[in-house]
Structure 1
Amino acid sequence: MDNTDIEDMFQSLGPVTIKRMFGGKGIYHMGRILALEVGDEILLKADDVSAAEFEAAGARRWAYEGKKGKVINMPYWSVPDDAFDDPDIMARWVGLAYAAALRSDK
């Protein structure tokens, strides 16, 4: 996904900074990471407060296989499908991701 498309997705927050990382991109707003782009997919940050909403909307949690086959769950979730067709719905999910970023100490 190119940077212009990413910026459009997050326009409801205002300017975002996009940095290359882990073979993908980190997406930041006001110095806080709130999303990743991995394999042309945007993954939004969630936490204990918001993860259930992502799950209920059919989003998938990003996980990878670590050492010795252990599955590592990351605090990032796919964007719910209906958000791609409606800027207001996208703004809601992006806002939840930024709220999770603000609550995070990372």
Structure 2
Amino acid sequence: MASESAFLRYLLDQLQLIGPVVGRKMFGGYGVFLDGLMFGLIMEDTLYLKIDGDSKQDFEALGLPAFTYPRGNKEIALSYYQTPEEALDDVEMLCTWANRAYLAAIRSAAEKGKKLTRRV
């Protein structure tokens, strides 16, 4: 994909199968949201998906890296891991990984006591 915005449009189109997914500019990239919960992050034409204790091992088993950014002399890792490359060309696989990321976002929000808004 030629530009980040084209990549974002492509992903949002594919992800509509799981619900009204939207992208919002943030952190020099885009947050990917469903029902107000961020479950994905796009940076430099790479999709990172939310992980938690239930899903982290699946990403690590495939050797997928966490999203990191530099802060001072340290590298900070967020709870988002790179999506498997083959999922970007297979809408069913992409939606499976995205649904798992959305569930991780729900669990994370619940742990933090955030009120969830559910679509009807």
TM class by shorter chain equals: 0.7 to 0.9
The one-letter code sitting in structure 2 at the alignment partner of 1:64 is Y
Structure 1 residue 17: Cα displacement: 1.7
Residue 65 (str. 1) matches residue 89 (str. 2): no
Give the counterpart of 1:103 among 75, 82, 107: 107
TM-score by length of 2: 0.79
Unpaired stretches in structure 2, ≥5 consecutive residues: 113-120
Cα deviation 1:70-89 (Å, max 9, x = unaligned): 22111111111221232221
Runs of at least 4 residues off by over 6 Å: none
CA distance in 2, matches of 1:103, 1:47: 8
- Mark the CA change 1:6 to 1:84 in structure 2 (over 3 Å): closer, same or farther: closer
Q: Which residue of 2 aligns with 1:53?
A: 58
- 2:18 is paired with a residue whose SS is coil
Q: Which residue of 1 aligns with 2:38?
A: 33
Cα deviation 1:12-56 (Å, max 9, x = unaligned): 312112111111111100110000111121111111211111111
Q: Which residue of 2 aligns with 1:83?
A: 87
**For the pair shown, which has the larger CA radius of gyration, 1 or 2?**
2
Structure 1 residue 59: Cα displacement: 1.6
TM-score by length of 1: 0.88
Percent of aligned pairs with the same amino acid: 35
RMSD: 1.5
Q: Which residue of 2 aligns with 1:92?
A: 96
